[in-house]
Amino acid sequence: MKFILTLIANVLFLNLTQAQSDTAQTWKWGMSLQFGGYQTDFTKLRKYQYLLNQPSNFSQHVGSTAFVGNRKKLFVGISVSYSFPDVEQSTYNGYSVYSSGIYGEAGLSVYYPLYKNYSGKILRAIYPAVGGRYSLVIVRSQAKGGGAVNSDTTFFYEKSRASTYLLNTGIMFELGNFTKKTIVHDLSIVVGAGYNFQLMTPDWVGAPRYRDPGDENPDVNLGGFYFYFGINYWTRK
């Protein structure tokens, strides 16, 4: 992971140095707002009934990415995304149980314009990407009540979190042409997909005392297939 981040930092430095000598039509800064879905594998954790099938093995995500560099040559994206799952509610062991699993990522990727035609009205560019991600999942299962005698009882069956690093690969397609060349900004629709490879077993911390003995660190996979669609905004200079 340190090697990946060092490589990205070096590419960013070289790209920014080169960008200073580019023409006045260079794109240097950008932002993206994205919506999509992520695949993960929490099967070995979801077997516990008090988790109410949480965390989900497929979750909807919202995210944003800050771009820096030259869109026509090479640029870096700094991204943050998170899921927004519903809190599941049911009865378990005589208690009302509320369970949730929140999943999020942050990282950097390098994008290269494999195809570019910024005057095109449908397909403007294709960008393969590679980088690294820090991935985190937070798992909560809270019990409340339990009959007339224990109606004020509140405790957690599960209150834990796990994190790991992922190798991010993907491809982004830039579509549409919504701005004139004389305008100082550029706006387009993007769709993308890729796969996150988990590099190491996640590290768990928290209070999993209700799990089976020896199952304190279940072998879950925070990586997997993902896709998104969104809007890209670039400045022209």
Q: How far is 149 from 107, CA to CA, in rounded Å? A: 49
3-class DSSP state of 161: strand
Band (pLDDT 50/70/90 cuts) for residue 231 is very high
Tally of structural domains, the chain? 1
Task: Kindly report whether the peptide bond that precedes residue 55 is cis, defined as omega within 30 degrees of 0.
Answer: yes
Q: pTM of the predicted model, to two decimals?
A: 0.81
**What pLDDT was estimated at residue 15?**
47
Q: What is the CATH number of the domain that holds 107?
A: 2.40.160.20
Q: Which residue has the tokens 């009540």?
A: 145
Band (pLDDT 50/70/90 cuts) for residue 187 is confident
Band (pLDDT 50/70/90 cuts) for residue 232 is very high
Q: Taking 70 as the threshold, does the pLDDT of residue 225 lie above it?
A: yes
Band (pLDDT 50/70/90 cuts) for residue 27 is low
Question: pLDDT tens digits for 122-165?
Answer: 899 999 999 999 999 999 999 998 765 666 789 999 999 999 99
Q: Taking 50 as the threshold, does the pLDDT of residue 7 lie above it?
A: no
**What pLDDT was estimated at residue 19?**
41
Q: Which domain holds residue 63?
A: 2-17+26-236
Q: How far is 221 from 166, CA to CA, in rounded Å? A: 10
Spatial neighbors of 59 by CB under 8 A, at least 6 apart, are 37, 38, 40, 83, 85, 103
**Cβ(49)–Cβ(92) under 8 Å?**
yes
Q: Taking 70 as the threshold, does the pLDDT of residue 184 lie above it?
A: yes
> Residues 39, 71, 67, 21: is their CA dihedral positive or negative?
positive
Q: Taking 50 as the threshold, does the pLDDT of residue 21 lie above it?
A: no
